Amino acid sequence: MEFKVVEKFVSINGEGRRSGQLAVFIRFAGCNLKCSYCDTMWANEKNVSYELMSSHDIYDYIKSTNVTNVTLTGGEPLLQDGIIHLLELLAKDTTLHVEIETNGSVSLEPFIALENSPSFTMDYKLPSSLMEDNMLLSNFNNLAKKDTLKFVAGSLLDLEKAYELIIKYNLTHKTNVYISPVYGNIQLEKIVDFMINKKINGVQLQLQLHKIIWDPNKRGV
């Protein structure tokens, strides 16, 4: 079983629970969605260049970096054929903290039962993504306190929808809830004002650190 890996690198974790810490990133090719603001669309193109790596190749690369936070990203990593075998292999190494960035359209059910299961940073695609119809609401029940639910907001309408879902599904009691701006699409002050006006407790505004530190379009960071 081999995976199409389009990038692998060490950087700081720009989002999620371990934001600001070093992480080794494995980016897989391909995604089932087409978000209006996608900044890694190149990784989803059919003709993208990639490296074929087995689970053991990926594990060996991770260990060679001496970095213990691992971020599997894409594209959509959970759609990779055989990803469960990679997760099982990584789960055996208890020195690693494995996090999967997933887009909210793929059921987490098959993955949560794994022993030493990874943590999920799951997006909920709000209206401005144009992909909201693909969101799997049942995934809210599969998120735990080790996971993160990230509302990627690009407009006031997005914020309103995020707020509605947070209240309706009592999300802050289930998992860590973040609001993350679509870079350049919404003023950060507007998000803070919204949070103040609605008295949103237990929700964290998160900025994508890598877009602040480097050129927002830079790859491999």
Shortest distance in whole angstroms from residue 200 CB to ligand SF4: 24
If the CB atoms of residues 76 and 99 are measured against ligand SF4, the closer one turns out to be 76
Q: Tokens 């609605």 identify what position?
A: 198
Shortest distance in whole angstroms from residue 5 CB to ligand SF4: 15
Retrieve residue 45's tokens: 């193109």
Three-state secondary-structure class, residue 151 = strand
Judged by CB under 6 A, the residue of 13, 19, 55, 103 near ligand SF4 is: 103
Q: Which of residues 40-99 bind ligand SF4 (CB under 6 A)?
A: 40, 44, 74-76
If the CB atoms of residues 42 and 116 are measured against ligand SF4, the closer one turns out to be 42
Burial degree of 178 (CB within 10 A; 0-12, 13-18, 19+)? buried
Distance from chain centroid for Cα 179: 12
Shortest distance in whole angstroms from residue 107 CB to ligand SF4: 15
Retrieve residue 127's tokens: 């209206």
Size of the site for ligand SF4 (CB under 6 A): 11
Q: Return d(Cα 215, Cα 209) in angstroms, integer.
A: 11
- Residue 185 interacts with ligand SF4 (CB under 6 A)? no
Taking the CA of residue 157 as centre, how many other CA atoms within 13 Å lie in the half-sphere pointing to its CB? 8
If the CB atoms of residues 40 and 68 are measured against ligand SF4, the closer one turns out to be 40
Shortest distance in whole angstroms from residue 145 CB to ligand SF4: 24
If the CB atoms of residues 37 and 61 are measured against ligand SF4, the closer one turns out to be 37
Q: Which of residues 14-43 bind ligand SF4 (CB under 6 A)?
A: 31, 33-35, 38, 40
Q: Which residues contact 53 (CB under 8 A, 6 or more apart)?
A: 2, 3, 5, 61
If the CB atoms of residues 48 and 89 are measured against ligand SF4, the closer one turns out to be 48
If the CB atoms of residues 76 and 147 are measured against ligand SF4, the closer one turns out to be 76
Beta carbons within 10 angstroms of residue 49's beta carbon: 9
Retrieve residue 40's tokens: 């890694």
Retrieve residue 86's tokens: 């990679």
Using CB under 6 A, list all residues that contact ligand SF4.
Answer: 31, 33-35, 38, 40, 44, 74-76, 103
